[in-house]
């Protein structure tokens, strides 16, 4: 098991086992120009990484490009991830990673604001300009995004390890999101992320459940763990 220490991280990075990511949450339409400029700046310097390239690095220790790799990651499953971030990534030829709280997607539109407020899903003033409008992406949007990007669960209800204790919790937060995502995309959702980016090694029971569900990567605050 990877040591959760400064020393272990330093060694991994010093030996070339690292990747640059930018973590995004809400990407409102009002900020689309700024997002495009920011991602375009990264695209000029870095090579967008696909899932196949990430798999390849873990197998060989090599990237397919001479340019450093880069992953933009969009969390929660906001409607604007599909309507703003996805199209900007498409325009720039970037592969995005969309980490979706499947319970947010499944929540009735009329309840989505309250659901977000109840599950650490941050809202911006622009989200509330038209009260009652949908805030989460739809399963159709997820299916569409998955044709060009990496789309995968970020728990169901934006849960942390401490919130996931019973068998029912495990089913709802770990197993069901994988089945739902796979059924909609026709692919195997490759990765998972806990609320707060909790890393591998904090709970053997939770770690094993992620493997049993069929996830291959765990995205954390400081690492991407290959777990399957």
Measured from the CB atom, is 1 or 130 closer to other proteins? 1
Least CB distance to other proteins at residue 14 (A)? 4
Whole-number minimum distance, CB 196 to other proteins, in Å?
A: 11
Binding residues (CB under 8 A) for other proteins: these are: 1-28, 31, 38-39, 41-42, 45-46, 57-63, 66, 68, 72, 122, 124, 199-201, 207, 219-228
| Main-chain dihedrals φ then ψ at residue 100, nearest 5 degrees | -110, 130
Contact partners, residue 111, CB within 8 Å, separation at least 6 = none
Least separation in angstroms between residue 168's CB and other proteins is 26
Of 15 and 168, which CB lies nearer to other proteins in the complex structure?
Answer: 15
> What does each C-alpha distance from 134 to 11, 124, 125 come to in angstroms?
45, 14, 14
Q: In angstroms, what is the minimal distance from the CB of 176 to other proteins?
A: 23
Decide whether 142 or 223 has the Cβ nearer to other proteins.
Answer: 223
Q: Which is nearer to other proteins, 60 or 166 (CB)?
A: 60
The rounded distance, in Å, linking the Cα atoms of 76 and 74 is: 7
| CB nearer to other proteins: pick between 49 and 180 | 49
Minimum distance from residue 190 beta carbon to other proteins (Å)? 14
What are the helix (H) ranges across 93-198? 102-106, 112-118, 139-145, 167-170, 176-185
Closest listed residue to residue 22, CA positions, set 79, 69, 83 = 69
Instruction: Let me know: does 172 contact 178? Beta carbons within 8 Å.
Output: no
């Amino acid at each position: 098991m990877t040591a959760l220490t400064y020393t272990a991280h330093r060694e991994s990075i010093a030996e070339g086992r690292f990747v640059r990511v930018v973590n995004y949450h809400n990407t409102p339409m009002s900020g689309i120009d700024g997002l495009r400029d920011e991602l375009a700046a990264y695209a000029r310097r870095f090579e967008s990484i696909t899932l196949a390239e990430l798999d390849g690095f873990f197998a060989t220790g090599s990237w397919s490009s001479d340019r450093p790799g880069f992953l933009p990651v969009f969390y929660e499953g906001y409607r604007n991830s599909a309507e703003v971030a996805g199209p900007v990534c498409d325009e720039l030829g970037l592969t995005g990673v969309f980490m979706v709280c499947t319970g947010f997607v499944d929540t009735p539109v009329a309840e989505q604001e309250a659901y977000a407020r109840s599950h650490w899903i941050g809202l911006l003033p622009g989200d509330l300009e038209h009260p009652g409008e949908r805030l989460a992406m739809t399963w159709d949007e997820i299916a569409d995004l998955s044709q060009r990007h990496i789309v995968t669960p970020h728990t169901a209800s934006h849960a942390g390890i401490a919130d996931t204790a019973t068998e029912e919790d495990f089913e709802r937060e770990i197993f069901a999101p994988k089945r739902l995502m796979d059924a909609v995309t026709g692919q195997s959702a490759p990765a998972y992320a806990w609320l707060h980016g909790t890393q591998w090694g904090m709970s053997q029971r939770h770690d094993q459940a992620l493997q049993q569900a069929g996830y291959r990567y765990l995205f954390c605050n400081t690492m991407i763990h290959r777990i399957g």
